[in-house]
Chain A
Amino acid sequence: MQPTLGDSLKNETLKFECETGNYHTFCPISCVSWLYQKIEDSFFLVIGTKTCGYFLQNALGVMIFAEPRYAMAELEEADISAQLNDYKELKRLCLQIKRDRNPSVIVWIGTCTTEIIKMDLEGMAPRLESEIGIPIVVARANGLDYAFTQGEDTVLAAMACRCPEIGENITNSVETDTHFPTAASTNNVNVLDSRVSQPVTQKIVSQTSKSTSLSSSKRTQAPLVLFGSLPSTVVNVLTLELNKQGIIVDGWLPSQRYTDLPALGENVYVCGVNPFLSRTAMTLMRRKKCKLINAPFPIGPDGTRAWIEKICNVLGVTPTGLEERETKIWQSLENYLSLVKGKSVFFMGDNLLELSLARFLTRCGMVVYECGVPYLDKRYQASEIALLEKTCLDQNVPMPRIVEKPDNYYQVQRIRELQPDLVITGMALSNPLEARGITTKWSVEFTFAQIHGFANSKDVLELVTRPLRRNMMQSTSTKTLVK
């Protein structure tokens, strides 16, 4: 399968195309499903129609029944025709939420409808906020502008503006020197108090105290805040990974609780952990004057290493032991690698993780035919793009075709022609493709699985190889089930 191409590849660069944007993806309001779980004291209010509600109810499945901390403010005809007063209506609902749940923050998710009827959510929020005494964060996560995971981006960009301002001369004065690591350690402890098993807790506490003592004695490192919502265990893993290099992570956006949002300001370095956070990055740079560390994303051992190296590099730390660590991880993946080596893969594109995954899978020895992506911010993803190019050259495989705003119909034609070994696609197309003898993996799972850091590389490959392993076990799957 793997074409052996010689020096002709050497001068090749990635090619970017753009299609019609007729593709299947989740509505960005789906971000409430993971964000309400991440930010424990939040409440998400999606201001939209039955269509939005129906999507959430079906997409989130079982979660619906667990008394979620989100709800729809369902717009009715009287709201659309302005017979009802938006402000009064929202106040009524928010007071009800305050009474029933008493959250530390209410996040309003603006939808297509609020855009079209031009409901002034940003204008109403501050007024209502002071009236009811609960912060209201407005995020316009609508299908007119964004796709799937970009929903989180809009929420985090809005939340970045709520982060407290960091003191002016924090890195110089002794007083703030000690203050800072303490804040960091409280953050960590908060992260810990849920769900992390005891031994890990012990380890992290000792780690934190180590880094605290390390820093309180003589802190030279500029403050560092990471952004992107990850499960708390993954947050701990990545924090520890940086701690090992002697780097202190001063906070995460988002934090486990809204009340613990990290302090931001001019001297703060920020770094993203996910490829779809370009607005957040922009907001952090422009509004909060932070310095962005542009790195590949910590997905796969190669990505994780590059991510750490870049951070170390910017913060003036010489990374140690990373090469051995990466090699070791690759060795532990040997069983999976033998399964994927030489296999071809086609990303239809729906969650913006595609480039990072394509880069990792190329390093694993796969050939990526096409990498569909809803939206590509070439500046924010610059390092990731560069690493993808380099990886293709290193592996001596052709560069994938990168298709922004893909057209699913055309993609299916291309899939028919190319017959890739694996198509990573949404659930709307999975079963029909399988019925035609094309092996698929649902792309949504990559959004919800833990895929960041060294140790989780295994989980990515577990996902990627599952259909391949199934094929090996079943004899029928090679047959086409549709005439």
Chain B
Amino acid sequence: MKLAYWMYAGPAHIGTLRVASSFKNVHAIMHAPLGDDYFNVMRSMLERERDFTPVTTSIVDRHVLARGSQEKVVENITRKDKEEVPDLILLTPTCTSSILQEDLQNFVNRAAMESKSDVLLADVNHYRVNELQAADRTLEQIVRFYIEKAKKQNNLSVTKTVKPSVNILGMFTLGFHNQHDCRELKVLLNQLGISVNEVIPEGGSVLNLKNLPQAWFNIVPYREVGLMTAVYLEKEFQMPYIDTTPMGIVQTETFIRKVADVLNQIDKNNFYDFDQYIDEQTAYVSQAAWFARSIDCQNLTNKKAVVFGDATHAVAMTKILVREMGIRVACAGTYCQHDADWFREQVWGFCDEVLITDDHTQVGDMIARIEPSAIFGTQMERHVGKRLDIPCGVISAPVHIQNFPLGYRPFLGYEGTNQIADLVYNSFTLGMEDHLLEIFGGHDSKEVITKALSTDSELNWTVEATSELNKIPGFVRGKVKRNTEKFARQNNINTISIDVMYAAKESAGA
């Protein structure tokens, strides 16, 4: 048993439901007790979805507990088949069905005989995988099913398109800025002269999955979901895939160069060279490179930041902060524990330390200890930042409704670099403001707020020291206070006078 009240990645069935409801005309039926359909609320509220979420529940109640689901699941599947006429019905197990150990596959087989739609049982185990892993697996499962079905029916189209084309794997409902990223990727590919064959699962149709092999290659923008599918398609049809996330100027360039490599390998008759495109985009479309050179960004040099999120976004963000903006990343971390090795390898050399955990208190303590000037993390880190008075830019799921902006906010591609630059810059205290505050000692005279997370104070501040403390600009005041108190405690000083403050400052070397 584990004591917890916050988790970064949700339970497995959420991943499965995200895949199901991203596809068009796919209906998911959860085998779950009453109240487990909270996914519908999230989709309807966060995504402000206009359509009914295609998820219903075959409810597990006392009767089911006593006698088994028996006809219930089959009835629910055939009922949905008639009501909604979906292409695919996906039976989704939950933590409850994991322990009931009913033969759900058997229900699926029986229901498949009676219904017009295809019926599948999502192959996910609640106790073994989390939301992201489950989504990855379910996507692969569905793709595999339809490829094999097409093979059997002999209508699999393996002929490549005449012009270069690509499948985008892993765009999702409830994904962090996925819709904007998808649009940005399409623009990018279009400008490279590459057409998009299929985007799955968001907005895709399972009936079109048989067309996947027509594309020249696959791209997997986010590491968490889509890789399994890409690997399967590579094995089955020798389709190459690119799993570099085009986030930040350098990574976008790497991504485009990889695209060129793949195209040149496939098409020997043409030579694909995107160097000029990269130069133009970097110089004129993306403002991020120029921004990094501008004097405003100088003030960010060597400022301390902490990065935490899913593997894709945390890695990309760490690299952007260090390579493109000259910011020091004191700690980079991820909650994708299943992908820890890859993460470590990627951020090696870019940060002082690495934190792999899904325990939010560990992340909070790390932030309190490091006291960065800014945090780039999930909604949880945003709240830690609020409490410690440290600004935070949200770069990864888990997310709230404000991470589903109406305006165009991609994180990928060249427009993405602009968005990220804004996010980073606005998270740190603005350069000139910072400078002026330092010179004039701040202009607010608010009372000092004690920070609950790091220190509990039994130390006395003299009146002079308190007024001196109040002269320090608000946004660093808490830090100075904590440092001084730390110093006092280390030296067994009970009363903090001005002398002690300066002694502390000296010992901190700041």
Contact = CB atoms under 8 A, between A and B. Distances in A.
B51 interface: yes
Contacts of A112: 33, 60, 95-96
Interface string B53-83: 1001101111001000000000010000001
B50 interface: yes
B493 interface: no
Interface in B307-348: none
Interface string A60-104: 010011001011111111011000100001101100110000000
A57 interface: yes
B406 interface: no
Contact of A27 (B34, B45, B51, B387): B34
A61 B400 contact: yes
A203 B49 CA distance: 49
A75 B126 contact: no
B5 A56 contact: yes
Contact of A482 (B14, B37, B51): B51
Given A22-B56, A24-B37, A27-B35, A113 B95 contact: yes
B4 A72 contact: yes
A432 B6 CA distance: 29
Interface string B1-14: 11111110011011
Given A22-B57, A65-B383, A147 B35 contact: yes
Contacts of A64: 5-6
Interface string A99-117: 0000000000000110111
A285 to B, nearest CB: 24
B40 A428 contact: yes
A49 B65 contact: no
The 6 closest A-B pairs by CB, nearest first: A27-B35, A143-B33, A428-B40, A435-B50, A65-B383, A77-B127
A16 interface: no
Contacts of B44: 427-432
B36 interface: yes
Given A113-B99, A115-B65, A432-B52, A53 B4 contact: yes
A93 B3 contact: yes
Contacts of A55: 35-36, 38
Nearest to A88: B1
A58 interface: yes
28 contacts: A21-B34, A21-B59, A22-B57, A27-B34, A27-B36, A49-B95, A50-B7, A50-B126, A51-B32, A51-B126, A53-B6, A54-B38, A58-B42, A59-B38, A90-B1, A92-B1, A112-B60, A113-B99, A147-B35, A409-B56, A409-B83, A427-B44, A428-B40, A431-B45, A432-B49, A432-B50, A432-B53, A481-B50
Contacts of A146: 34
A280 interface: no
A265 interface: no
A74 B2 contact: yes
A70 B65 CA distance: 28
Interface string A452-483: 00000000000000000000000000000110
B45 A427 contact: yes
Contact of A71 (B4, B13, B126): B4
A142 B10 contact: no
A96 B13 CA distance: 30
B48 A57 contact: no
Interface of B: 1-7, 10-11, 13-14, 32-38, 40-42, 44-45, 48-53, 56-57, 59-62, 65, 76, 83, 94-96, 98-100, 126-128, 130, 380, 383, 386-387, 400
A429 B127 CA distance: 30
Given A27-B35, A113-B96, A89 B1 contact: yes
Contacts of A428: 37, 40-41, 44, 53
Interface string A1-41: 00000000000000000000110111110000000000000
A148 B41 CA distance: 14
A425 to B, nearest CB: 11
A27 B32 CA distance: 11
Contacts of B49: 431-432
Query: DSSP class of A's interface residues: helix, strand, loop or mixed?
Result: helix
Contact of B40 (A24, A49, A53, A481): A24
B162 to A, nearest CB: 34
Contacts of B383: 65
A28 B10 CA distance: 19
A155 to B, nearest CB: 16
A426 interface: yes
A317 interface: no
Contacts of B32: 51, 143
Given A76-B127, A428-B41, A432-B52, A144 B1 contact: no
Interface core residue of B45, B50, B128 (most chain A CB under 10 Å)? B50
B126 A144 contact: no
A481 B44 CA distance: 15
A145 interface: yes
Given A50-B95, A89-B1, A432-B51, A58 B38 contact: yes
B3 A96 contact: yes
Most chain B C-beta atoms within 10 Å of own C-beta, residue among A90, A93, A112, A113: A112
A50 B96 CA distance: 11
B50 A27 contact: no
A74 B387 CA distance: 26
A27 B95 contact: no
B14 A117 contact: no
Contacts of A65: 380, 383, 386-387
Nearest to A115: B65
A477 B50 CA distance: 13
B4 A144 contact: no
A49 B13 CA distance: 12
Contact of A53 (B5, B41, B56): B5
A144 B5 contact: no
A76 B128 CA distance: 9
Interface in A357-414: 409, 412
A177 B123 CA distance: 67
A26 B2 CA distance: 24
Nearest to B400: A61
Nearest to A480: B50
Given A73-B1, A115-B65, A142-B33, 17 more contacts: A21-B61, A22-B59, A51-B95, A51-B96, A65-B387, A70-B5, A74-B1, A79-B1, A80-B98, A93-B3, A112-B60, A113-B96, A143-B33, A145-B62, A429-B44, A429-B52, A432-B51
